Structure 1
Amino acid sequence: MTIFNLGSINADHVYSVPHLPLPGETLAATGFSIGLGGKGTNQSVAAARAGSDVFHIGAVGPDGVWAREKLAELGVNVDGVSQIQTPTGHAIINVDANAENAIVLFPGANVSLSESEISRALEAGKAGDTLLLQNETSHQAFAAELAQKKGIRVVYSAAPFSIEAVRAVLPFVSMLAMNEGEAAQLCAALGTNIENLPVPETLVTLGSKGAQWHGNGSNLNVESFSVVPVDTTGAGDTFAGYFAAARDQGADVAQALKLASAAAAIKVTRAGAAEAIPARAEVDVFLSQRS
């Protein structure tokens, strides 16, 4: 099976700071780096490093050729990544001494693809494949509906959170992935709880408290692994990408949750986003040492 991903590609500008800036505060950074990121990129890399066949659908500007090449180096099929004249998306990421982060996004080329371009990219999709979506691109609802009609499983990460975006995509979603804050916002907006959301499956990541899966009248929980965090950027994306890949490869939900939890645990011990996501062999060794 193939995992398609209509996803963002960003240049991550990461600043190490003693604490997250307060309103009106000018704060001197203690470190700086540029790396490959974007929720879409992170999920594609995670799924590919977990061992799945991943086809990324997206766009970069003239300044983003390196990002497309890096995606390919990390095992992602980039035939669906266009190079256009709009600047590549980028993120300003502040990371504090406790590994918490605050992020500002410039969407750039990520919102430039047309519906016809997305349709062409999904032509090869077939029943049993998976489509990953996040709220950092355009035409998510169009892509989700098209995929559903082809029998493709649709996994939507409701981030950055927008109730309007979720409402538009929800009728076509197979699994809705959120963090704890996003889940609370969605349930409040819809006047319901996680178990009664109008979607077959939900996946809620809880940071250091683990994660929860709800579906088919069942609830499953996984605890997080105890590690010393360095940078939590991309941890949720790592979890989502690994979970989707595990399910794509035939793992049951419990197995997928454990694998994804281990991958996310390794990720937070490393600075950076996409390039810090562990390979499957590393995750297997980590699990063997924790069993």
Structure 2
Amino acid sequence: MLSASLPFDLLAQCYCAFPPKGNFLFCRHCDFDRQSKCDMMSGFLSTTDFVGLHTWRLLMAVINIGSMNIDHVYTVEHFVKPGETLHSQKLELHPGGKGLNQSIALAKAGVQVKHAGLLGNGGAYLKEELENYGVNTDWIRDVEGQNGHSMIQVQPDGQNSIVLYGGSNMKFTDGFIDEVVSHADDDDVVLLQNEINDIPRIIEQAKTRGLKVVFNAAPCTEQVKDYPLHLLDLLIINEVEGAMLSGETDFDKVLGTLKERYPNTGIVLTLGSGGVYYADANGVLKVAACRVKNVVDTTSAGDTFTGYMMSEWLKGSPMETCLSLACTASAVCIQKAGSSTSIPFPKELPVSETEAAAIA
């Protein structure tokens, strides 16, 4: 059996030829069917033979119960001011939503993903977008009414301002939630963002099943304070969200307050160029951010961070490794325009200190 401590991309054999339960990885080319032998394999092959042929994925899956939006991205000289009418330099439509973006980030990072969500009018192509990246869409349903969408203003410095309309994303029912959670495998991990309704019920139902739950509290509202955050395995927040949840503005106090309030929850606090902090019962860890000169669009930076961080966390990697990879992936992401389209593949990430320095 392959150990989780081994490098993720260095394998000596195609493990899809071994169906017994317990294999750690399998090959994407087998259509996720561990019972059938990979058609790209004949007997045992060396690692060299498999480079470029196989995309390895963790056996456990992430069930991302999340949003799917149509993003209207406007390139502007500056964010529109009250009473101002502003001409946009460019308009682009992209698949988006934190849920969809994080599913794609996870899939690109090599994780098996099952997306559960609701599509309204005009949203059918969002399902196709997920499927293009190998995301399982069996739990996507159609509902009446408008699909969720957003209006995103992007300034020349890459900073963005977003107006969000929930639409179909706010039509989750108890029945649908219970159906999704009840069909989860025992080792699946549930991922949530705050762009859908009924988050508390999902958390409680998932924990009743004994599943791990990760919650990215974005966009943050006052209601999040009443969510059962003490049940979470990981809570991912940025500086603004941390201040809202803790009532503090200094990041040390934010971490201290949240650690005391949720002692069994790992807290991931991202500070943009200020790096990222992780706090749990064992203490506090800091990882520096990558310096980037050519910032184009920060829209999907947080979603890229979440996807790549979880890809390492699921393997049992040290949290410092998880956060370092996530910061690097985010740094690459913000140098491209778009939402899900800006999320990098692993091959786009620097693999040496020299290449990492070239990000700046």
TM-score (norm 1): 0.94
Cα displacement (A) at 1:279:
1.1
In terms of fraction of residues, the more helix-rich structure is: 1
Please name the residue that 2:85 is paired with: 26
Cα displacement (A) at 1:153:
1.1
Tell me the distance in 1 between the aligned counterparts of 2:190 and 2:160. Answer: 28
Tell me the distance in 2 between the aligned counterparts of 1:23 and 1:286. Answer: 47
Contact 1:126 1:151 in 2 (8 A): no
Please name the residue that 2:312 is paired with: 246
In the TM superposition, structure 1's runs of 4+ consecutive aligned residues that sit over 6 Å from their partners are 189-192
Cα displacement (A) at 1:213:
0.7
Amino acid at match of 1:40: G
Tell me the distance in 2 between the aligned counterparts of 1:183 and 1:127. Answer: 31
SS in 2 for 1:84: strand
Please name the residue that 2:334 is paired with: 268
Please name the residue that 1:205 is paired with: 270
Please name the residue that 1:113 is paired with: 172
SS in 2 for 1:36: strand
Tell me the distance in 1 between the aligned counterparts of 2:150 and 2:244. Answer: 23
SS in 2 for 1:102: strand
Tell me the distance in 1 between the aligned counterparts of 2:242 and 2:324. Answer: 21
Where in structure 2 are the equivalents of 1:209-228 lying within 5 Å? 209-227=274-292, 228=294
| Higher mean displacement: 242-251 or 225-234 | 242-251
| CA offset digits 1:201-239 (Å, max 9, x no partner) | 100111111111111222111111122210000111111
Contact 1:262 1:287 in 2 (8 A): no
Give yes or no for the alignment of 1:280 onto 2:339.
no
Change (3 A) 1:166 1:244: farther
Amino acid at match of 1:60: L
The size of the alignment, in residue pairs, is 291
Tell me the distance in 1 between the aligned counterparts of 2:65 and 2:324. Answer: 26
Structure possessing the higher relative contact order (Cα contacts under 8 Å, 6 or more residues apart): 1
Please name the residue that 2:208 is paired with: 149
Cα displacement (A) at 1:284:
5.2
Cα displacement (A) at 1:114:
0.9
Correspondence for 1:138 among 197, 202, 205: 197
Tell me the distance in 2 between the aligned counterparts of 1:288 and 1:116. Answer: 52
Tell me the distance in 2 between the aligned counterparts of 1:290 and 1:212. Answer: 20
Please name the residue that 2:145 is paired with: 86
Please name the residue that 1:235 is paired with: 301
Structure 2, unaligned runs of 5 or more: 1-59
TM-score (norm 2): 0.77
Cα displacement (A) at 1:194:
3.8
Tell me the distance in 2 between the aligned counterparts of 1:28 and 1:139. Answer: 38
Contact 1:126 1:150 in 2 (8 A): no
Structure 1, unaligned runs of 5 or more: none
Give yes or no for the alignment of 1:54 onto 2:120.
no
| CA offset digits 1:123-148 (Å, max 9, x no partner) | 23244321111111011111111111
SS in 2 for 1:85: strand
- Root-mean-square deviation (CA, aligned residues, Å) is 1.9
Tell me the distance in 1 between the aligned counterparts of 2:321 and 2:289. Answer: 14
